[in-house]
Structure 1
Amino acid sequence: MSVPLGWLLRRPELRLKVLAGTRHQEREVTWAHSIELADPSPWLGGGELVLTTGLRLPEDPQARHDYVRRLADAGVAAVGFGVGLSHGRVPAELIEAAEEAGLPLLEVPLRTPFVAVTKAVMERLAEQQYEGVVQASRIQPRMTRAALAGGAQAVVRELAVSSGTHVAFLDSEGRVRACHPPDAAVPALDEVTGQGPAVRAAASVSSGPDGVVAVQQVQVGPRAHGRLVLVADRPLTAVDHLLLGHAASLVALEAEKPVRVRDEQRRLNGTILRLLLEGTIASQAARDHLVEAGFPSRDGVRVLALEDGSPRGTLAAVGEALDERGLPLFGAVLDGAVVVLLPAGHAATAQAVVSELADRQKARPAAGLSAVHELGDGPAALAEALSALSAARARGGADVVHFASLAGQVLVTEPHTRAVLESLSVARLGPLAAYDDANDTELLASLRAFLEHNGQWEAASAHLGVHRHTLRARMTRVQTLVAADLESAHVRAELLLALTVWQGSGAGGDPPTPPAASA
Structure 2
Amino acid sequence: MGVPLAWLIRRQDLRLRVLADSGGLDRDVIWAHSIELADPAPWLTGGELLLTTGLRLTADSGACEQYVGRLVKAGVAAVGFGIGLSHERVPETLVAAAEEAGLPLLEVPLPTPFVAVAKAVMERLAQQQYEGVVRASRIQPRMTRAALHGGAQAVVRELAVSTATSVVLLDHDGKVRAAHPPDAAAPEAALRAGPPSREHAAAAVSAGQDGVVAVQQVRVGPRAHGRLVLAADRTLTPVDHLLLGHAASLVALEAEKPLRLRDEQNRVNGLFLRMLLGGSITASAALDHLTDAGFPVRDGIRVLVLRGGGPRRALQAVGTELAERGLPLFGRGHGGCAAVLLPAGHVVTAQTVTDGARARLRSRTWAGLSAVHDLADGPAALTEALNAASVAEARGSLAVVPFESLAGQLLAVTPETRKILVTLAETQLAPLAAHDAAHGTDLLVSLRAFLEHNGGWEAASAALGVHRHTLRSRMERVRGLLGAADLDSAHVRAELLLALSAWQEPGGSDRAG
Larger Rg: 2
Higher relative contact order (CA 8 A, sep 6+): 1
With the length of structure 1 as denominator, give the TM-score of the two structures: 0.48
